[in-house]
Chain A
């Protein structure tokens, strides 16, 4: 650490809780305003339960905000407002789809209510995470445990009785009356596992190797973890037919491996493996070929089954929405199957226009940016890797799903974080935000002065300072 590093360490982050509150008010205006606009647009009057709904949403957000004030006062002030805005917008759009007279959208018109219940559970777990997990480094202890649990969760949908296949993907389990996607939880646990493993083994993975064509390639024996992860991804692709999750898991691991080792060589090896996997998947599976063909020429497969009807309806809807959208109730988003989950961005594009789609993308961009900023200022390697991994989840997931819906890349089924209808995803993502806030609270909190008068401490390895309290 040189001189500038020392002065950086003297920099004390402000808590900025007031700024967070202000942004939260804006986020609530988005959420509640959208709900009122749905009532006006679809039913012609302000919804009767606006006060009750708005009150509930406000209460949830206030609870989350107060929890942060109490147990994570230095946490990043932007993340919660972004999430609140996205979740509120998602609820309003799902509510609008519920109200559509064509029953194509939702079976019973109660998706919004269920989603609000899930959001409540999400906020409860968010608060619980912040209260129970006072130091994210505790998670490092569960490196292998969480890995095992993650694999167990990923295997659950394969089990008889509780396993549930929806649309060809074996990624659901039935727990009582609920369908649950264990993969959503597994991805968080996997990030914890990766971070714990990589922070321990980064030196070995980083240093050994040989240089080929300007790129440091890793040693063969160090390829183990990468190959294991590759195998897991291929397993998900082959046995669960879930292209999106397979891509997501491998991508996150690759990003974290690169950050841990600082060696682009891993990206080369990983990218090659990805290419091999993609080629194999394309060769072996009709549904993968189908996805690629549809991506190349969606209009040609409109009338076929399985075809591009859903994608093309989404494109038609977004094209019709144009710059400012048709307005709530004026579009026809229910023409798109699964408009409330995978294709919610298409529904937003149709009724709120390019403006809203861009706003949503920028919100996600900001979440990723905040996550990576937290990774940058985090003082410990585990925290850095964890924050990077959690940020990468959002970046890759959003890119894969919005890119798929807008025709940029082949379509793969993934939920849009915080917007899509779906309990497992929503709850898991709220916990992810809690983890990010916990890491940022640790990172932004002033370093405890071990010896306030001693000049020597600033030279020490400050990232290794352990909180004493």
Chain B
């Protein structure tokens, strides 16, 4: 009977080898996948209890973990909650959003760049600590943006995005209405669930970061894209004469589109500069009609439409310029209507590209990643994602925009002693909703340090007032001053 016993022994050996191999596969090779499963509460519980790294703006932490004496060792707090909530997001027991989510690996200490730190913690038997994330935000610009939005009348909703044109660094990003992430980080999970439910049910969507998460018709600010396409076509420059007059007859249609003030923009033929200064609808409708859908779409995509570019924050909505618009729609797109939609970030990118000699830089909010001992683990390098126009087109547009601020519709953004380039916008999505006020600008025009886009939606303001850039202009001005002022 010994031979079969030996066979049985070999068979048993195979069984045990299979167990050993499978447990190695499970506990070593598959462990990473299992750890990333969103249902894996162990990872979440553990991360929730751990000392998470701080999110820094300048020298101040806008999110940090402080010791807590309940069943979790640390409590996440947000010292300036409302102002920074759209960027930091929140770290709750159930989810993370914003930078808390995109930089979760670093903040929780799981990032591979923190391996040595983890090892040292393990050997010292110390609790593992997360790394810190330094944002690109400029505290002064963020303060100005937040103060401007807060000062808006009534239940205004709005967003501000400021970029450094040469790099794409996001200098300010604010959105109202917003929410208090401290409530979401609470260890009282019942109240967190209640708060989440309430915020989600709120018709004003306070959880959405409007600066990147909502797309709206960009209105007259889109005339910058139309003007760029016109000049890039080679047929136009700042002084070229374009159609003016009281109204534009839409192709294949009975409809006539008038200028926003009902005027004639100063004549039947006006210069392109003049058209931009007075934000002449007739000129840009006819330009878009003449350039056609393909040329307009190509130009819009060079600015970043139809794609997303911000990698540091979840929830970026895609700004759209459809490629299948018919002639009347294409003409309407020239003034930022019909199916064209954009996020405030996208319009800031348009302004920044003009300021940066035509180069579109990838926007980013995470400047540096640091170990708990503050040594730098990684830094974001600026990246050019496309060339929207030639540098000569850019300087031509800059000149036109400077005169729009100096003597056109965008005067509320003028800063004494500094050349500011800017453009207002008013857009209407549906007749029953109030229009959106837009304002894009950059300064100083000769050496741009900041490009801003402001979007305000308010039911308290009449349509005419909005068109004047009176809502967005002062906010943009304050944000620019915060960065330019010595």
Residues of A within 8 A of B (CB): 255, 258-260, 262, 299, 302, 312, 315-323, 331-332, 335, 349, 353-354, 357-358, 361-362, 364-365, 368-369, 372, 375-376, 381, 384-385, 388, 391-392, 395, 398-399, 402-403, 406-408
Contact = CB atoms under 8 A, between A and B. Distances in A.
Interface string B35-55: 101011111011000000000
Nearest to B30: A319
B24 A354 contact: yes
B26 A318 contact: yes
Most buried by B among A318, A319, A331: A319
Q: Which 7 A-B pairs have the closest CB atoms?
A: A319-B34, A319-B31, A354-B27, A365-B16, A408-B22, A259-B4, A395-B12
A357 B46 CA distance: 23
B226 to A, nearest CB: 50
9 contacts: A262-B4, A316-B37, A335-B42, A358-B20, A369-B9, A369-B12, A375-B1, A376-B6, A406-B19
Contact of A403 (B13, B22, B30): B22
Interface string B203-243: 00000000000000000000000000000000000000000
A408 B18 contact: yes
A294 B26 CA distance: 16
Interface of B: 1-9, 12-13, 15-16, 18-20, 22-24, 26-28, 30-35, 37, 39-43, 45-46
Given A322-B27, A358-B24, 13 more contacts: A259-B1, A262-B4, A316-B42, A319-B27, A320-B40, A321-B27, A349-B27, A361-B16, A361-B23, A369-B9, A369-B12, A384-B1, A395-B12
A328 to B, nearest CB: 14
B19 A315 contact: no
B366 to A, nearest CB: 28
A375 B27 contact: no
Contact of B23 (A262, A312, A406): A406
B35 A319 contact: yes
Given A318-B23, A408-B22, A259 B31 contact: no
Contacts of A357: 23, 27
Most buried by B among A323, A388, A406: A406
B21 to A, nearest CB: 9
Contact of B19 (A262, A322, A399): A399
Contacts of B26: 315, 318-319, 406-407
Contacts of B4: 258-259, 262
Contacts of A385: 1
Contacts of A375: 1, 5
A395 B15 contact: yes
Most buried by A among B4, B26, B31: B4
Contacts, number: 126
A260 B37 contact: no
B206 to A, nearest CB: 29
B18 A403 contact: yes
Contacts of B16: 361-362, 364-365, 368, 395, 398-399
Contacts of B31: 318-320, 322
Given A258-B4, A302-B39, A391 B12 contact: yes
Contacts of B13: 365
Contacts of B34: 315-316, 319-320
Majority SS at the chain A contact face: helix
Nearest to A366: B16
A406 B16 CA distance: 13
Most buried by A among B19, B26, B41, B42: B19
A323 B40 contact: no
A335 B26 CA distance: 18
Contacts of B33: 319
A388 B8 contact: yes
A391 B8 CA distance: 10
A403 B1 contact: no
Most buried by B among A354, A385, A391: A354
A354 to B, nearest CB: 4
A316 B32 CA distance: 10
A398 B22 CA distance: 14
Nearest to A388: B5
A320 B18 CA distance: 21
Contacts of B43: 320
A321 B28 CA distance: 9
A142 B13 CA distance: 32
A199 to B, nearest CB: 9
Contacts of A258: 4, 7-8
Given A299-B37, A315-B26, A399-B19, A255 B1 contact: no
Contact of B1 (A260, A315, A316, A323): A260
Nearest to A384: B1
A390 to B, nearest CB: 12
A259 B39 CA distance: 47
A406 to B, nearest CB: 5
Contacts of A384: 1-2, 5
A319 B33 CA distance: 9
B35 A320 contact: yes
B37 A323 contact: no
B73 to A, nearest CB: 13
B8 A259 contact: yes
A358 B23 contact: yes
B147 to A, nearest CB: 45
Nearest to A394: B12
Given A320-B42, A395-B15, A376 B27 contact: no
A318 B32 CA distance: 11
A391 B12 CA distance: 9
A376 B2 contact: yes
Nearest to B12: A395
Contacts of B39: 302, 312, 316
Contacts of A353: 27
A321 B42 CA distance: 10
A322 B23 CA distance: 10
Nearest to B25: A406
A354 B20 CA distance: 9
Contacts of A321: 27
Contacts of A372: 5, 8-9, 12
A320 B42 CA distance: 8
Contacts of B2: 376, 384
Contacts of A259: 1, 4-5, 8
Given A316-B40, A376-B6, A406 B22 contact: yes
A139 B33 CA distance: 52
A140 B24 CA distance: 42
A349 B8 CA distance: 28
B15 A399 contact: yes
Nearest to A317: B42
Contacts of A319: 26-27, 30-35, 40
B45 A332 contact: yes
B1 A407 contact: no
Contacts of B8: 255, 258-259, 372, 388, 391-392
A330 to B, nearest CB: 9
Contacts of B15: 395, 399
A367 to B, nearest CB: 10
Given A319-B27, A323-B28, A335 B5 contact: no
A397 to B, nearest CB: 11
A259 B8 CA distance: 8
A407 B23 CA distance: 9
Contact of A262 (B3, B18, B40, B41): B3
Contacts of A364: 16
A403 B42 contact: no
A379 B362 CA distance: 81
A323 B27 contact: yes
